[in-house]
A and B are shown apart, each in its own frame.
Chain A
Amino acid sequence: MIEETTSTQHEQVSLLLPWFVNNTLDDMEREIVQNHIDECSECEKDVALYSSLRSAVTRSSPTPILPNANLTRLLDSIDGAKVFPSTRRIPRFRITLVASLTATLVVTALTLIYQARTQPVPTRFQTATSAVPVAAMDYVLNVHFAAGTEAADRDKVWREIDARSITPGDAEGLYQVTVKLRVSTLEELEQYTRDVQSLTSVQSIEVVAMQLPLKPSM
């Protein structure tokens, strides 16, 4: 009988564990869970797993640089509201390079603090796969190809910049890719964008987001 109660409690508690970890249970639920995990090693392990999951989720993504809130477009949509959502084409948004670069500078400064070693000057398109120990970060780029660019030419660009996570291009030839870069100054990032821009078929490139550096274990 006692065993049965314990096993029912285990089942109930195990379903609540994600919210124990994200701290949204009410006081009574929280107490029940806490008392249970003090005595149940399985649930204790699951709490650890959910905690890692939470860390993975909160640290796994590039931090987006927000585009400007486009109120005019929203109001236009309202006026032409007969158009069903998502069937309209939207103009590519502009994110100023200045914003990207400022954010990059902050990120880079943090990285440099974390990495207590001297960084060699990066070569053209150098990425994390280079043999040099680097403080590399993920950067998300919007790459816009000239009209009529062949797949083979795009592939050539992807190889050249070592692109990963390539999203399918839209009708206007806009692709979003992630690259690993090691840049320590704004000038280096500007130089990088100029270098990519100079590649055959590339019409324009924007840096839209970057992965924040991860905290090293102390």
Chain B
Amino acid sequence: MQTKPKIDVSNEQELSLLRRVADKDRDALTELFHTYHARLFKFVFRLTHSYTIADEMVNDIMLLVWQKANTFRGESKVSTWIFGIAYRQTMRRVTQKQIRIVTSLDLDQLPSDDGASLELENWIRHGLKALPAAQQITVELVFFLGLSYQEVAAVCDCSVNTVKTRMFHARKKLKTLLEPSVEPTSSEIEKFDD
């Protein structure tokens, strides 16, 4: 039995909305827009940390939903299909060097007297910045949106194996940073950044 994914609130309802959008029903688009605006904005903002880009991209993504709704074949959930558009738009802009993936800000100044786990998280954040865009986004899909590997594969339009391997490599890279010692020196971090 599959665990109910977090973003699958009411796929049936969204499916009927999307069908109406495919028939160019503006009220349906309005409803879908309000349903997805916050989620899409937060997602793109997470990846770019730019309000301007997130605001602009949500508009672009919903415009594509309007234009491509009639191509939806119901092979995945509506949310997976819409986040797939968001993923491809993001990757397209990354490839065209219009945006940079910035999944974590420079938080080196976070209070460090809160215990070792916080320290570890700070190192991890530092390491995340060094991962390739596709790996960073996969990490976000898994841990920020909480998607199953099947859903991540559908969003990224790739095989389940590719998704699993991406996460595996992301972990391997982070481990490289963490393994030399529990608290890597700054020179080790620099080496990792290269």
Contacts and interface: CB of A to CB of B under 8 A. Distances in A.
Interface of A: 14-19, 21-27, 46, 49-50, 52-62, 64, 66-67, 69-71, 73-75, 77-78, 81, 85-86, 88, 90, 92-93, 128-129, 136, 138, 140, 142, 164-165, 167, 170, 174, 176, 178, 180, 208-209, 211, 214-217
Contacts of A73: 59
23 contacts: A16-B164, A22-B146, A23-B3, A24-B5, A25-B3, A49-B175, A53-B171, A56-B121, A60-B103, A61-B46, A61-B104, A66-B41, A69-B34, A71-B34, A85-B59, A129-B109, A136-B109, A140-B49, A164-B106, A176-B49, A178-B105, A180-B109, A209-B51
Contact of A138 (B55, B60, B105, B178): B105
Contacts of A178: 105-106
A15 B142 CA distance: 13
Interface string B97-116: 01000111111011100110
A215 B33 CA distance: 34
B167 interface: yes
Contacts of A57: 103, 128, 139-140, 143-144
B56 interface: yes
B77 interface: no
A10 to B, nearest CB: 12
Contacts of A61: 45-46, 49, 103-105
Contacts of B56: 86, 88, 90
Contacts of B114: 214-217
B33 A64 contact: no
Interface stretch (B9-17, B62-70, B183-191): B62-70
Interface of B: 1-3, 5, 26, 29-30, 33-34, 37-38, 41-42, 45-46, 49-52, 54-57, 59-60, 62-64, 66-67, 89, 93, 98, 102-107, 109-111, 114-115, 117-118, 120-122, 124-125, 128, 139-140, 142-144, 146-149, 151, 164-165, 167-168, 171, 174-175, 178
B117 A49 contact: no
Contact of A142 (B51, B103, B110): B51
Contact of A58 (B29, B49, B66, B144): B144
Contact of A53 (B37, B118, B143): B143
Contacts of A70: 55, 59
B105 A54 contact: no
A66 B41 CA distance: 7
